Amino acid sequence: MIRYPLGFDTPTASLCSMSVVVPVFNEEAVLAAFHQRLKEVLAKLDEKVEVLYVDDGSSDGTFLILQNLQALEKQVSVVRLSRNFGKEQAMSAGLRLAQGDAVILIDVDLQDPPELIASMVVAWRDGADIVNMRRRSRAGESWFKMATAYAFYRVMNMLSEVPVPPDVGDFRLLDRRVVAALNLLSERGRFMKGLFAWVGFRQVTLDYDRAPRAAGSSKWRYWRLFNFAIEGITSFSTAPLKVATYVGLLSAALSVEFRRNLTHLAQ
């Protein structure tokens, strides 16, 4: 089992041509099916591949399944975080440990089909540094979640100084140079979608239809999604700070004027 601290330095020379980083949290219901489909996809690629699972403090049987996969397959590596830090930190840990010339981030719930990896690799081989995967449709998701996701990206891009590609999740391919740049950033509270956009490089976007979750349930609750959206907006926009400053100045001015009027009346 891989056991590295979160501050592990990214290797300067890659040991494989591609890494697939998979953050997982309590996904025992879908993990085996995901790995089987991923393995079938990777077997068709002419690449030396490592699959790195990052267990974000699971409390079910996820880690036991991962241990078994690692024991049976030499291309599989597993890192287990000491507790549930959240998906952003799990992805960051995976990026620090990944050793490939290209790194693919993918969720385990099979909403993002592993079969699309081949097209992502082609785009990378053609010169793209980042291959964004844009959701053309989102099967199996409620109208409320789709509406709030739509609103989030539009509000984010109205306020943010760095445009974030709308309808693009964490499913993407990153060149080694991009990974190295991300690993140099010191942010502790990370909004990865914003960081992917902020680092720049040559980015291309492929469209796909997102499938329903294959098994299990989403670990994202609406309140947590709301907090995540607020963190993203405040991390990449000065607009909230400016609004708070203006409100504070206005409140101070009104307070001074109110006291002045009270003093005048008292006289």
In DSSP notation, 124-139 reads HHTT-SEEEEEEEEET
Q: Which of 109, 133, 111 is nearest to 219 (CA)?
A: 109
Per-residue pLDDT of the chain (267 residues; tens, 9 = 90+): 343 333 334 444 455 689 999 999 999 999 999 999 999 999 998 888 999 999 999 999 999 999 999 999 989 999 999 998 888 889 889 999 999 999 999 999 999 999 999 999 999 999 999 999 998 876 666 666 666 666 666 666 666 667 777 788 889 999 999 999 989 887 666 677 778 888 889 999 999 988 776 665 555 455 555 554 556 555 555 444 444 454 566 666 666 655 666 655 555
In this structure, how many other beta carbons lie within 10 angstroms of the beta carbon of residue 124? Answer: 20
Residue written as token pair 């591609």: 18
* CA-to-CA separations, 252 to 41, 117, 241, 259, in angstroms, rounded: 62, 56, 16, 11
From the list 152, 120, 122, the residue with the least C-alpha distance to 134 is 120
Residue 57: phi and psi, rounded to 5, are 75, 40
d(CA 107, CA 178): 20
Q: What distance in Å separates the CA atoms of residue 246 and residue 235, rounded to the nearest whole number?
A: 19
Torsion of CA 65, 68, 74, 77, to 10 degrees: 40
Task: Check if CATH label 3.90.550.10 holds for domain 17-136+165-212.
Answer: yes
Chain-centroid distance, C-alpha 266:
60
